[in-house]
Structure 1
C-alpha cells in the first residue's frame, strides 16, 4: 500500500514539473511548434491516466484491507438506482415474482435455559445436598425437622477431554471334563476386535479427536502437543502425525475412492482450487506454490459429496484427470483450465465473481463519484439477479427453470445491451469488470439451461473455506504424502458435516468398523460412507436446504 502511494505521488510531482516547464507567463513568452505542443499534451494526458489508475488501486487496496467484505449496494446508491429497472424506453420491464401470504407468527425470545441449548440425550448428574440429623434439630423444641421441599439449581458442566487407558481383556475358556477324561481339551477364546493400527496403543477415539481438532477446529498438531503436555500426556506431534497418515492410507483412502467414483455419477458438480505450500516437494523450492483442488456435488443431491485433491501445480490436466468419466455441468470461477475439459462437460460461470469485479470498480472510485457511475449500475444489475434468485431457491428445479426464463433472462439481456455501450480504460477496475463480463458471458448464462444449476460458484467456495481457515494456522504441509493425506481426511470430514454428521463420532465409527470388516468382499467399504453412517453419528438437529 505504501509503495503504491509513493508511486502515485511521484507521478504527480513529475506531472507538475512537466507542467511548470511548459508554463507560459506574461513576463516571458515561449514559442513552441504545434507538433511539440501536441506531444506534450498527449504526454500529460497519459500521465494523468496512469495517476488515476494508481489512485484506483490505492482506494481498492484500502477497501480490501480496512473496509467491509460485503458486496451489498450502499443505501444512498440504492435510492439513486431505484428506478433503474423501470425505464421502459431503455430496458425491459422486470416483474417481481408473485407473493405468497404466510401465517403470521411471533418469534419467542430465547431464555437461555438448558432445555433450549442442549439435546435431549445429555446425561443429568444429580447431586443432593442434605443436612445431618444434628443440623436439623429444632432450636425451639429439639425435634428433628422433616423434609418439606427442595430448591433445584441447574447448571451446565463442561469437562475437558479426558485421557484414560482402556485395557481390553479377552478371556479363554476350557472344558475341565474333557481335560480330565479326553485326549484333547476344547478351548474357546473371546473374539478380539482388530486394532486400528497394529502394534500401536492408538485408539479410534484418540485418532478421531486429533483429526477433529486439526481439521475441524483448525488446531495444528504442535498446539495439540502443547495442550496434552500441560495435562501430563507426553504425546509428540510426530506420533500424532504418523497415526493420522497411517489410518488415512489404510482405512480412509478406500472410502475416499468410493466417494470419488460416486461423485462422477452426478451430472452437476462444483470445482475450486486454492494454494498450499509443501516444504519437501521434489523438484520445487519450499517457497513454491502447490494447490489443493476441491470438487463437490450440488444442491440437487440428497447425500452431498465433497472431495479434495492435492496437486503440485495448477495445470489443466489436473481437473481433466480427476473428472475422467464425468459428463454434465461443472460450476467454476473463470479459471481457463476448466475450459479445456472435454466437450461433454459444460462449464457454468460464476455471477459472484462478476459482481465482485463491479464491486471493486465501485470501491476504486472516490465516494463523491460513485453515485450514478457505470460501476454502480453494473453492480446493481448483478444484485438484481441475486435478489430474484434468492426468492426462487426453495422451488423445484422445473419451477426454477421456468421462473428464471421469465424473470432473470430479461435482466440478463438488458445487462448485456448496457455493457456493450460502456467504454472504460482496459486497465481500470471498470474496464476489467466489463471485460470479464463480456468474455465470460457465454458461461455466465449457462445456468439458465437447467433448474438444478446455480447462479454462482459460492457453494464451492464455502466448501473450500475450511481448508483455507486451517491453512492460516498450520501454514504448510511437510511432504506430498502429508498433503494428500490431509486431502483425504478433509474430504471425509467435510462430507460428514454436509450430511449432518458429527465429524468426531463419524470418524470413531469408521476407525472402529473398518479394521473388522471382511475386505475381500467387493462392497466392504459401502457401510463406511457418510450417507450410510448410523444414527448415533448424526447431530441432534436437522438442516433445511432452503437455509443454505
Structure 2
C-alpha cells in the first residue's frame, strides 16, 4: 500500500471516529432533552393539579361567601353542574343596581364620625348600690301569710314580719310579700316572741323568687338574650337587676340543676339508653385573672352534645376535644355511639394505640355518619367534579330509600335495610374503590373518596340496628343553641359558668324534645327541689315529668311559696 493510500485510510478512520463521537454526543443530548421534557411534563401536571385545587377552593369559598352557608340536602346534582352559567349576567345586574342606587354605597366617613360620637356619648357604668329595697318598689304586690298553727295554740298573734322577693308571673314582675306571723308565748314564766318557720328555699339568700331564676334561664339559654340586654329590659319594667347579679344567679342555678336532675339524666343515659348521637363545638371561656390581677385572654373550651335515644338531649363542657375527655364522658356506656370520624372517638371502640383486639359484646361500638360522608362529596360537587356528583347521587338514593321506612318499627326497618339497602351499600363502596384508584392528588374529590373508604366499617353499622338513623344530624341540630349563644354573648365568664350553662341547655333542649314548656317546667322543679329525695332525681327529668307532675298536688305546686307534699316513689 502506498503512503497516499495509508494516509487516506487514516483520515477516513479519523472521520469515522469523529462522526461516531458526534452521534454519541447527539444521543446524549437527545436523552437529556427527553429527560427534561419528562420533568417539564411532570411539573406541568403538578401545576395543573395545583391550579385545579385552587379553582376548587375558590369555588368553595365563593359559595360560602355568596351562597348557602351549609349543605342543602334538597339540592339536585344537576343544579350543582349548572350553577354559575349566568354568573356574568348576575354581576352586570348587580353593578347596574349599584349605579342606580341614590348616593351609591359610600358613607364610610359618616360611619366613622357616628362611631366617634357614640364613643363620646357612652357613659361610665354606675357603681353597684347594694341590695335593692323591694319594700319601696312601685311594682304590684302579692301577699302571702305564713302562719304556724302549733304556735297559735300556745300563744297569741302579735303581728307579721314582712319579707320581700322579686316574683315573675307571665307577662310582668311582681313583689312577693311574705308576712311571717309572730307569736307571744309564755315559756318558763317569761313571755317570748317566736316566728313561724319559713318553708325551705332553693336559694335562701337570693333577692329573687325561683320564678325569676327560671325566666332568666329561658331568656338567655333558650332565646339567646345576653344579660346586658336583660338588664336594659328590666329597667323598662321598673324591676332593675344588674347583669353581675344575673350572672351569679344563673351560675348558682346551673350548678344546682347540674348536680341534681342533669346528673341523674347522664347516669340514666349511660345505663339504659342504646343509641347515643354526639357532636362537639368550641366556645370561648374567660379564665381567672392572673397573679397580677389582670384579665387574661379567653381560652377555648368545648361543648359536647349527646342525644340519648328519644329520652334526653345532654350537654357537657370540657377543657379540650381529646380522647381523655370522651373516654371520661362515655365511661360506663355499652351501646352504639354515632359520631363523626374524629380520631378522639377511636379510643372508645378500638382502645388505646397499639391495642388491636376485636370488639366484644357489651362494649361501646362506633357508628359512622352518612351526613358527614355526603358533605365531603357535596363540597367536591360544587367544583363540577363528575365523580363527586356521582357519589352524591348514590348517597341520595340511600337516604331516599331509608326515608320510606321511617315510620316502621325498628325490627322491620332492620330487615328491610338488610334486604334492600345492603346491596346499594355494596355497590357504593365498590364504586368508591374503583374511583379512588383513578383519582390522584389531594383534591376535594379524593378527600371525599378517602373518607368513604376509611369509614366503610363504621358506615355499614347502620345495618345492624333498626333504631340507628343514617346520620347524627340530630346532635348537630342540638348544637345550634350553643352557636347562637356564642354569637350573642361571645364568651363564658368562667369554667364554672360554662358548666352551669351546659346544665341549663340540657333541661331546655330536653323539654323541647318532649314538647314541654321549658319555663313552666323550670318553675315547677325549682319549687320541688328543696323537698325532693336525692335518690329520685330522675323522676324530675323532662322524660318523666308528665307522669311525676300528675301525682303532685296542683294547688301546692301553683302557690308561690309553701310546703309541697312529695308522693311515694313509683
What TM-score do you get using the length of structure 2 for normalisation? 0.67
Q: CA deviation at 1:526?
A: 3.8
Whole-Å separation in 2 of the counterparts to 1:485 and 1:351: 33
Which residue does 1:360 correspond to in 2? 379
Whole-Å separation in 2 of the counterparts to 1:534 and 1:32: 85
Which residue does 2:445 correspond to in 1? 430
Which of residues 218, 230, 247 in structure 1 aligns to 2:224?
A: 218
Whole-Å separation in 1 of the counterparts to 2:450 and 2:410: 31
Which of residues 224, 228, 236 in structure 2 aligns to 1:230?
A: 236
> Which of structures 1 and 2 has the larger relative contact order (alpha carbons within 8 angstroms, sep 6+)?
1
Whole-Å separation in 2 of the counterparts to 1:79 and 1:389: 26
Which residue does 1:456 correspond to in 2? 471
- Pairs within 5 Å for 1:58-137: 58-68=58-68, 69=70, 70-74=72-76, 76=78
Which residue does 1:298 correspond to in 2? 309
Q: CA deviation at 1:507?
A: 0.9
SS at match of 1:238: helix
SS at match of 1:445: helix
The two structures, once aligned, show a CA RMSD in angstroms of 3.1
SS at match of 2:306: strand
Whole-Å separation in 2 of the counterparts to 1:415 and 1:438: 10
Please state if 1:530 is matched with 2:537.
Answer: no
Which residue does 2:506 correspond to in 1? 491
Whole-Å separation in 1 of the counterparts to 2:406 and 2:389: 26
Unaligned runs of at least 5 residues, structure 2 = 1-30, 83-168, 350-358, 551-570
Asked if structure 2 preserves the Cα contact closer than 8 Å seen for 1:293 and 1:309, the reply is yes
Which residue does 1:143 correspond to in 2? none
Larger relative helix fraction: 2
Asked if structure 1 preserves the Cα contact closer than 8 Å seen for 2:283 and 2:300, the reply is yes
Unaligned runs of at least 5 residues, structure 1 = 1-30, 81-158, 539-548
Asked if structure 1 preserves the Cα contact closer than 8 Å seen for 2:265 and 2:538, the reply is no
1:38-71 deviations in whole A, cap 9, x for unaligned?
2222212211211110000010111122223313
Larger relative strand fraction: 2
**Who wins on radius of gyration, i.e. which is larger?**
2
Asked if structure 1 preserves the Cα contact closer than 8 Å seen for 2:257 and 2:503, the reply is no
Whole-Å separation in 2 of the counterparts to 1:419 and 1:280: 47
Asked if structure 2 preserves the Cα contact closer than 8 Å seen for 1:202 and 1:243, the reply is no
Please state if 1:412 is matched with 2:425.
Answer: yes
Q: CA deviation at 1:246?
A: 1.3
Asked if structure 2 preserves the Cα contact closer than 8 Å seen for 1:351 and 1:455, the reply is yes
Which of residues 269, 272, 282 in structure 1 aligns to 2:276?
A: 269
Q: CA deviation at 1:319?
A: 1.3
Whole-Å separation in 2 of the counterparts to 1:290 and 1:531: 29
Which residue does 2:390 correspond to in 1? 377
SS at match of 2:55: helix
Aligned length: 414
Whole-Å separation in 2 of the counterparts to 1:38 and 1:75: 38
Whole-Å separation in 1 of the counterparts to 2:307 and 2:288: 27
Whole-Å separation in 2 of the counterparts to 1:297 and 1:470: 23
Instruction: Give the stretch that moved more between structures: 320-329 or 61-70.
Output: 61-70
Asked if structure 2 preserves the Cα contact closer than 8 Å seen for 1:215 and 1:490, the reply is yes
SS at match of 1:341: helix
Please state if 1:195 is matched with 2:197.
Answer: no
Q: CA deviation at 1:334?
A: 0.9
Q: CA deviation at 1:231?
A: 3.2
Whole-Å separation in 1 of the counterparts to 2:251 and 2:523: 16
Whole-Å separation in 2 of the counterparts to 1:524 and 1:535: 13
Which residue does 1:34 correspond to in 2? 34
Whole-Å separation in 2 of the counterparts to 1:522 and 1:226: 38
